[in-house]
Structure 1
Amino acid sequence: MKKIIIGEHIVKSFGEGEEKRNVLDGVSVEITEGEFASVMGPSGSGKSTLMFALSGTDGIDSGKVIFDSKDLSAASENELSDLRRTTMGFVFQQPTMLKNLNILDNIILPSMRGNRKSPVEITEKARALMKRVGISELEKRDITQVSGGQLQRAGICRALMNSPRIIFGDEPTGALNSKSAQEIMDLLAEINADGTAVMLVTHDVMVAARTERIMFMRDGKIVSELRLPKFDATDMDDRVEMVSAKMREIGI
C-alpha cells in the first residue's frame, strides 16, 4: 500500500532551559493509504503531539514529516492550511462549532473557502453526509439542541466535506457514553472501509481494539505496536484482551 504519511526522527520539545523536555523524542512512523490506526499511551506520552506533527498542525524541532510526497517542514502556513483543508479531516473530543450557526451551516462553513463547487453543490453534499450518519432531521437545530453523539456525527460530516485522504481523531469518543461511542466507531469504520485512512489518539482500550494497528507511546517514543485483523464484532472480547495484554507487557 502507498505511504501517505512518513515521519522521520521527529523531535518536538516544550519548555526552556532545565524545564525543556522532548515530548516527541526521535519518533519515526508511517501511515499507509486506507489504514485504520490508533495511538495509545499515558497522559503526556506524546500521542496528541504526534498527531499534530503528522498533520502539519504543529511545527517540529527536527526530523521530517512527508505527507503525500510533500515535505511539510518546507511548506508555508498558507500551504499547510490548504493541505489540511483539502486532504485531511479532523474529529476532536469536543467539536468546535459556532453557536450562532445551525448544524448544517457549521458543517458547510469550513468547506466554502476556495471550493470550486457552488454553494448549492456544497449544501447537497452536506445533506447527503448528514443522511448517511443519521442526523438529517437536525440541520436547522442549534448546536445546543443536540446530544453529544449527534454533535460528534456533525463533526464527522464536516471532516468529510472535502473527501480527505485521512481522518485524524483526537479522543473522538472521549466525551460520549458507551452507546454513542460505539456508534461513532461504527461510523469511522465505515469511512475507513470506503478507503479513507483513519488515525485515532485514544486512552480507551475499546476504541483501540476496533482499529487494525495500535502504536503504544511512552515518554515521547513509540515503544511497541500491535496489529489486529479486520474487525469482527464476535471477536471484540479477544481484541480487548490482546490490547490489554500488550499494555501490561510494556507497562503502560
Structure 2
Amino acid sequence: MNTILSGKNVVKTFGKGNDLVNALNGVNVDIAKGEFVAVMGPSGSGKSTLLFALSGMDGITGGAVKLGDIELSKLHEKALANVRRTQMGFIFQQPTMLRNLNILDNIILPAASKGKKDREKLTQKAAALMKQTGIAGLENRDTTEVSGGQLQRAGICRALMNAPEILFADEPTGALNSKSAEDIMSLLVTINQEGTAILLVTHDPKIAARADRVLFTKDGSIVSELPLGKFNPRDIEARGEQVLAGMAAVGI
C-alpha cells in the first residue's frame, strides 16, 4: 500500500489525575493515496479526536503521525500550519466562513495566504471549482445569502484551492437535508476518484457506505474495519447494509 497518512500507537489524553480521559488508546491506522476512509462510532468513541490528531489540528500525547515522510507530531506550530494549508483540506459540519467576505473571497483565502499575488489566476481557479461543484454564479453573494448546501459546496471549493493530497471531513453532511447530503457525497466521491484521499467522520451508515473502507471506533480504539471495495459502488443499499452489519457486530 502506498501510504499517504499513518498513525502509529497514537495516544491522546485530556485532563489530569482523577480527571484523566484517554480519548485515543494507542491507535494504529494507515491511509493509502487516493483512498476514501470513513470513521464511525458512538458519541465519545474518539472518532473526531482521531481525525483532529491525524490532521495535526490537535496535538497528541504519544505515538507518531506522518503525512508521507513528514512527521507531523514533531513539527513546530508554524511549520505544521503550513503543511495543513498546502497539503491538506478541511471540511466541517458548519463551514467556517468569514462574514465580511463574499463567497469568492472566502474560497480564495487559503491560497491567498500562501503568498500568491496573482488575483486573476486565483479567481480563475476558484471559478473552475465553483463550476465543478455546481455553485457558479454565487461569487458575489454574502455567506448569509446562500443555502446550507451551497455554503458547504463553497467550503469544499476552499478546501481544494491548494490541491491537497488529502481531505479531512468531520460530519460534512450533518447539517444538511437528505438531498443536499446526497449531492455533497456524490461530489466528494468524484473528488476522490480524481485522486484526492479522504478521511471522513460520520454517524450515518449511508454516508459511510460511499467509502472504500470503514473504521469502527469504540472507547478510544479502532475495534474493527470493513472493506467495501468488493461491493458495487453504485449499490449504495447493499453497501449500507454491510455498514449496518459492521456496526451491529461491534455494538455500535
Give the TM-score normalised by the residue count of structure 2.
0.97
How many Å separate the matches in 2 of 1:52 and 1:171? 13
How many Å separate the matches in 1 of 2:230 and 2:91? 22
> Which residue of 2 is the match for residue 31 of structure 1?
31
Residue identity in the other structure for 1:47: K
> Which residue of 1 is the match for residue 179 of structure 2?
179
Q: CA deviation at 1:229?
A: 2.1
**1:58-77 → structure 2 map (5 Å cutoff):** 58-77=58-77
**Does the CA-based 8 Å contact 1:210-1:231 persist in structure 2?**
no
How many Å separate the matches in 2 of 1:108 and 1:232? 36
Q: Secondary structure at the match of 1:123?
A: helix
**1:67-146 → structure 2 map (5 Å cutoff):** 67-116=67-116, 118-146=118-146
- Alignment deviations for residues 208-249 of structure 1 (CA, whole Å, 9 cap, x no partner): 011110000000000000000277464111111111011111
Residue identity in the other structure for 2:60: I
**Does the CA-based 8 Å contact 1:35-1:197 persist in structure 2?**
yes
Specify every segment of 5 or more residues in structure 1 that has no aligned partner in the other structure, as ranges: none
Q: Secondary structure at the match of 1:137?
A: coil
**1:129-208 → structure 2 map (5 Å cutoff):** 129-208=129-208
> Which residue of 2 is the match for residue 7 of structure 1?
7
- Number of aligned positions between the proteins: 252
Q: CA deviation at 1:147?
A: 0.6
Q: Secondary structure at the match of 1:138?
A: coil
How many Å separate the matches in 2 of 1:71 and 1:110? 23
Q: CA deviation at 1:21?
A: 1.4
Residue identity in the other structure for 1:152: Q
Q: Secondary structure at the match of 2:154?
A: helix
**Does the CA-based 8 Å contact 1:171-1:202 persist in structure 2?**
yes
- With 11-20 and 222-231 compared, the bigger mean Cα shift is at 222-231
Residue identity in the other structure for 2:80: L
CA RMSD, 1 decimal: 1.2
Q: Secondary structure at the match of 2:223?
A: strand
Q: CA deviation at 1:68?
A: 1.1
Q: CA deviation at 1:117?
A: 5.8
Among all aligned residue pairs of Structure 1 and Structure 2, give the percentage whose two residues are the same amino acid.
60
How many Å separate the matches in 1 of 2:241 and 2:157? 32
**Does the CA-based 8 Å contact 1:5-1:32 persist in structure 2?**
yes
Q: Secondary structure at the match of 1:27?
A: strand
How many Å separate the matches in 2 of 1:233 and 1:201? 19
- Shift of the 138–30 alpha-carbon distance from structure 1 to 2, 3 Å rule, reads same
